[in-house]
Structure 1
Amino acid sequence: MASFRVTHTDKKIKARTGIIKTAHGDIHTPAFFPVGTQATVKALSPDEVAATGTEGILVNTYHMYLRPGHAIVEKFGGLHSFMGWDRPIMTDSGGFQVFSLGFGIEHEVGKIVPLYGEDLVAGDVLESSSKNLIVRTKLCKIEEKGPTFVSHIDGSAHFFPPEKSIDVQMALGADLIVALDECTSPLHDYDYTRAAMERTHRWELRCLRHLQTSDVRRRMSDAKSSRFLRYPKSDIRGPALYGVIQGGPFQDLRIASAKFVSDGDFFGVGIGGALVSKKKMAEILDWIHPHLDPTKPRHLFGIGTIDDIFAAVAQGVDTFDCVTPTRLGRMGYVLTNVKYQMSNFKLNITKSIFLTNQNPIDPTCNCYTCQHFSIGYLCHLFRSRELLAYRLATIHNLAFMAKLMKEIQVAIGENRLRELKGEWLGKK
């Protein structure tokens, strides 16, 4: 099984560095995982992803279960050989996607509110929304035995209990896997949120028991015999399971869930749920931190903006995943802290004013894009809708994130994360 050890804790704040060891290599934390939704980080080959300095990725269980199907992936020896990626992979449980098909649709909310927005919405907007809900057809039904959802691909119905989530993730062969949880909407009241949290705890125990009683070694051996398996396994066998903290915006529920997951026989701690706002996210992390086992890695799901990463790292979070850097790249936004005309480290490179700019995005960046191409060329590619544009922007954005995480690791080791945050965000 995977292992984790803390290598240093910042003497001024809660931030820490560490190493997660897996069968496919080490993850130096704090770390950011790009999302390879359907066994691909969009626009890039695995070698290109690795060249950015990325140590691990997250793949969505829900999407792989529906297409091409976990049984097919297992025949190839698991995700690593199927997609040609020889570094660590984390799979989520499918719980958030199921939520998105249920109350996420009905309430129009997601990881950050609103569901399809980018920024976080204040509480007064949520209050207004709760009074003026447009009821939409849900594609998911939640029951004690497990959720049943309707495929967004062909409309077929699927029963997806906790045990099946584990079976699918084991077939996918990820290094780090996640127990099935119910992600609640910030529009749910206290009573429903508590009931959902308690149901999540029961589901997580079912996941844990199922994993412990499953023949992991046989599955790993069968996968290793596949003629498609390009990368040998190490002696670290079997996936490492994360429990997930839920409880919505309620302090007592978050603390109760943190204690449950931290005290349980889980390898790691996941922090889930729709976080509502940046302020609420910070509050939740502050609430739960005293109740977390310091020997377990902590993963914050679906968070990837620079200010959020700094805030969460300062609260002791070890790993993150988010679609934002790759999605922004495909939209024509590159990440940089070079002082161009931009906001929140995002430069809209599609604007005509950049057509004559002969500089790289960042002269200090060692990525393939910055070493070979100018801003003007990238602007031309996007305005011409050339496919190379998506690739080059995504390469840079992932390299930017990897470089940022490396800077954070170094700063923590030198007990100066607070100062680094000030350099990046202009405040301490």
Structure 2
Amino acid sequence: MHSLPAPPFAFQVEHERGRARAGTFATPHGAVRTPAFMAVGTLATVKGLDPDDLHAMGAQMILANAYHLHLRPGDALVRRLGGLHRFMAWDGPILTDSGGFQVFSLEGLRTIDEDGVSFRSHIDGSARRFTAESVMAIERGLGADVIMQFDHVPPGQSAEPVARDAMERSLRWLARCRAEFERLRAEDAPAPTPEQALFPIVQGGIHAGLRRESARAIVGMGGWHGYGVGGLSVGEAKADMYGVLDVVDGELPRDRPRYLMGVGYPEDLVEGVRRGVDLFDCVAPTRMGRNGAALTQDGRINLRNARWREDPGPLDADCTCATCRRFTRAYLRHLVTADEMLGLRLISLHNVHFLVALMARARATIADGTFDAWSAAWLERYLAGEAARGAVAKPVTPHPKR
């Protein structure tokens, strides 16, 4: 068993409402009030936004990607320039994904073996190789507060044998990640962020038995500051995703944060909080913004639609973001249809703010005891709007705790 090192990492659950909880996760670059949405800055930038935008909207922690930064501009360069915090002028907490999802999505460009993954860069075709050890060195150099293990991510609806193979390999790689992580922490000084937290990742596809097995093996290793839940929102049905969260909630310790990786649609955030999730991330809000789609309490809207041509209202009447305080739907539609980059920036800002504010509201209602009623009413309104546009199915009823 591994013992937890001393702070700066700590997690305190302050309020609970069923399985939903509100807490504080302390990191070397500040505290994160949970549940929280982490804006994705894949290439050391949240697309279209700068750190001042993020601070102004209440964003607390952001995510960057080891795979993409290794390829461009290079993790060694980022380290020489002082690490990600200095490089991108963000003084809050950062989490780096290991790049496992990106590497395994390179179908036809990668080869897997027990030691690691050989692949070709999607940028220039150059030959590269990731192992548990090399990824830990990359993430050490980038200097995020929280770093993720290198894992094997199978397709969302993989059959049980395929999911088992990936899950078991992820556990073997986790042991190697931890050994290298601890070696680097002891020997690699100075580093941009001397104290980092390594999060393991629960895998197992949509198979409840595999998810339990993965979670129990990880917990049995002891000494983790938090836990990732990976391999979801990759093509499986929402009911399957929510079912996995029910299983995992019953297996992971409640005194550590749980991070649901790559999940960021509004209904999934609320359903995740209902099932004990604390941290979320997703590229969806900025990707939608670049395509002229905006989040509202009544579902997503497409600003390219002619119905908004003369609309004098804000994107969302209750939103307090800089976009909604100043600009109309009609103006934003004009910018989008004219291919003006300001429109894409303003909608992206709104979408990220929408998810950050949604999690702030969830925290507040967990604290005051109204979360159950608030979440039910919020989902009913949002999903009714989505269903009217044919976007999503009806909400999934939470499963009993397992």
Q: Same fold (TM over 0.5)?
A: yes
Report the counterpart of residue 266 of structure 2 in structure 1.
306
Question: What SS does structure 1 have at the residue aligned with 2:200?
Answer: strand
Aligned pair partner of 1:20 in 8, 25, 29: 25
Question: What SS does structure 2 have at the residue aligned with 1:9?
Answer: strand
Question: How much has 1:193 moved relative to structure 2?
Answer: 2.1
Alpha-carbon contact 1:184-1:274 (below 8 Å) kept? no
Question: How much has 1:188 moved relative to structure 2?
Answer: 3.6
Report the counterpart of residue 140 of structure 2 in structure 1.
170
Counterpart AA for 2:113: E
Deviation string 1:217-260 (CA, Å, 9 cap, x unpaired) is 854x454xxxxxxxxx7xxx411110000111222111010112
Tell whether 2:229 aligns with 1:271.
Answer: yes
Alpha-carbon contact 1:163-1:210 (below 8 Å) kept? yes
Report the counterpart of residue 47 of structure 1 in structure 2.
52
Partner Cα separation in structure 2 for residue 144 and residue 171 of structure 1: 24
Question: How much has 1:351 moved relative to structure 2?
Answer: 2.0
Partner Cα separation in structure 1 for residue 158 and residue 362 of structure 2: 36
Tell whether 2:327 aligns with 1:373.
Answer: yes
Report the counterpart of residue 144 of structure 1 in structure 2.
114
Aligned pair partner of 2:171 in 201, 205, 211: 201
Tell whether 2:216 aligns with 1:259.
Answer: yes
Counterpart AA for 2:319: C
Tell whether 2:199 aligns with 1:242.
Answer: yes
Percent identity of paired positions between Structure 1 and Structure 2: 40
Alpha-carbon contact 2:157-2:205 (below 8 Å) kept? no
Alpha-carbon contact 1:262-1:269 (below 8 Å) kept? no
Partner Cα separation in structure 1 for residue 286 and residue 76 of structure 2: 28
Aligned pair partner of 2:241 in 269, 272, 281: 281
Report the counterpart of residue 419 of structure 1 in structure 2.
373
Partner Cα separation in structure 2 for residue 298 and residue 385 of structure 1: 39
Aligned pair partner of 1:357 in 311, 320, 335: 311
Deviation string 1:194-237 (CA, Å, 9 cap, x unpaired) is 22211110101111111111146854x454xxxxxxxxx7xxx4
Question: What SS does structure 2 have at the residue aligned with 1:58?
Answer: strand
Within 5 Å, which residues of 2 pair with 1:111-130? none
Structure 1 pair 69–86 and aligned structure 2 pair: CA distance change class (3 A): same
Question: What SS does structure 2 have at the residue aligned with 1:294?
Answer: coil
Partner Cα separation in structure 2 for residue 288 and residue 357 of structure 1: 45
Question: How much has 1:187 moved relative to structure 2?
Answer: 5.0
Question: How much has 1:266 moved relative to structure 2?
Answer: 2.1
Report the counterpart of residue 338 of structure 2 in structure 1.
384
Give unpaired runs (5+ residues) of structure 2: 1-7, 381-394, 398-402
Deviation string 1:94-131 (CA, Å, 9 cap, x unpaired) is 110011113xxxxxxxxxxxxxxxxxxxxxxxxxxxxx
Question: How much has 1:23 moved relative to structure 2?
Answer: 1.5
Question: What SS does structure 1 have at the residue aligned with 2:250?
Answer: helix
Report the counterpart of residue 160 of structure 1 in structure 2.
130
Structure 1 pair 168–52 and aligned structure 2 pair: CA distance change class (3 A): same
Report the counterpart of residue 325 of structure 1 in structure 2.
285
Report the counterpart of residue 67 of structure 2 in structure 1.
62
Alpha-carbon contact 2:232-2:261 (below 8 Å) kept? no
Question: What SS does structure 1 have at the residue aligned with 2:365?
Answer: helix
Question: How much has 1:191 moved relative to structure 2?
Answer: 2.4
Tell whether 2:81 aligns with 1:76.
Answer: yes
Question: How much has 1:385 moved relative to structure 2?
Answer: 0.7
Alpha-carbon contact 1:263-1:293 (below 8 Å) kept? no
CA-based RMSD of the aligned residues comes to 1.7
Counterpart AA for 2:224: F
Alpha-carbon contact 1:29-1:409 (below 8 Å) kept? yes
Deviation string 1:255-277 (CA, Å, 9 cap, x unpaired) is 01011222323221100114511
Aligned pair partner of 1:9 in 6, 13, 16: 16
Structure 1 pair 86–217 and aligned structure 2 pair: CA distance change class (3 A): farther
Within 5 Å, which residues of 2 pair with 1:287-302? 287-302=247-262
Structure 1 pair 274–30 and aligned structure 2 pair: CA distance change class (3 A): closer
Alpha-carbon contact 2:157-2:206 (below 8 Å) kept? no
Partner Cα separation in structure 1 for residue 155 and residue 320 of structure 2: 41
Partner Cα separation in structure 2 for residue 190 and residue 244 of structure 1: 18
Partner Cα separation in structure 2 for residue 378 and residue 335 of structure 1: 13
Specify which structure has the bigger relative contact order, considering alpha-carbon pairs within 8 angstroms and separated by 6 or more residues: 1
Partner Cα separation in structure 2 for residue 186 and residue 353 of structure 1: 36
Question: What SS does structure 1 have at the residue aligned with 2:31?
Answer: strand
Counterpart AA for 2:310: T
Report the counterpart of residue 401 of structure 1 in structure 2.
355
Question: What SS does structure 2 have at the residue aligned with 1:291?
Answer: coil
Report the counterpart of residue 90 of structure 1 in structure 2.
95
Counterpart AA for 1:198: E
Q: Give the TM-score, by structure 1 length.
A: 0.84
Structure 1 pair 368–243 and aligned structure 2 pair: CA distance change class (3 A): same
Question: What SS does structure 2 have at the residue aligned with 1:214?
Answer: helix
Partner Cα separation in structure 2 for residue 270 and residue 215 of structure 1: 21
